[in-house]
Amino acid sequence: TLMKCTGDFLKGSYEGRNFRFGIREFGMGAVSNAVSLHKTGLVPYCATFTIFSDYMRNSIRLAALAQAGTIFVTTHDSIAVGEDGPTHQPIETIPSLRMIPDLTVIRPADCNETSGAYKVAVEKSKLQSMPTFLALTRQALPNLPNSSIENVEKGAYAVVECEDPELILIGTGSEVSLCVDAAKEMSGKKVRVVSMPCWELFREQPASYRDALLTKGVPKMSVEAAVTMGWGEFADAFVGINVFGASAPGGTCMEKFGFNVPNVVSCAEKCLAGSTGILSDGSQGKH
């Protein structure tokens, strides 16, 4: 998040655009809000790990309340953080931030969606003076063939499309590519895969778009490496993690807690057969 094209903002030397806060998440968020509310036209952003956004939660909440156009950039957004363990694995952070009114929370699936997320965030800041929270991964992710910069502003869109789907898989962030891989394994089944980087933006879309994408009467299953709270608004069945994580390499954590193709396919087949609710909650990773 360091801007290499400029230096540091220092006492007696105000030319730089980088401000080094140290380990002061709340202060960092508060100062960033002040920069926005000063109405100089500057777009402030601050950055930390997703889990540490809890330390500046009141700053984030006040940004939404006071209409500050701050962009909160966070990384290491799931159990894929790995060896740092459950203290640094934000299983409940993103769902809890979605509860804050007037805060736009975006969890992009790849480079294209990340570009789209920044576009939305800057427009929210400059045109509406409203805050945006970006949740990015630690691990590298594949660029999805049908991902889109432009479609991020819709909140959700199909990355794998088919007519008259039998099942709709809904993913966010790193789990979108997992949904794509799972759909490929479900031979003979018509599966639509939806990337939903932002709940708030999706809610703003016309009902005709929302109903066409998440077709009524078609079983829908969400896949997100976070607690399953809230997903009942969009899906019938859920794959998530409702337990604390563990210290292990990121890939091992994802595998053990159920974020792998065989488990997603198994849960998808149960969803197709009529099962609803939490189909995988990560508890298998504790054994």
Distance CA 6, CA 9 (A): 9
Q: What's the helix, strand, coil split of the chain in %, to 5?
A: 40, 15, 45
Helix (H) / strand (E) element for 204: namely none
β pairing state of 167-171 and 191-195:
parallel
Helix (H) / strand (E) element for 69: namely none
**Eight-state DSSP code of residue 8:** B
Q: Is 25 a catalytic residue?
A: yes
β pairing state of 157-160 and 191-195:
antiparallel
Distance CA 250, CA 163 (A): 36
- The neighbour count for residue 203, using CB atoms within 10 Å, is 12
CB 235 within 8 A of CB 282: no
- The neighbour count for residue 269, using CB atoms within 10 Å, is 14
Q: In which residue are the tokens 């896949």 written?
A: 223
Q: Of the residues 25, 113, 153, 224, which is catalytic?
A: 25
Q: Across the chain, which distance is largest between two alpha carbons, in Å?
A: 67
**Eight-state DSSP code of residue 144:** P
Catalytic residue annotation: 25
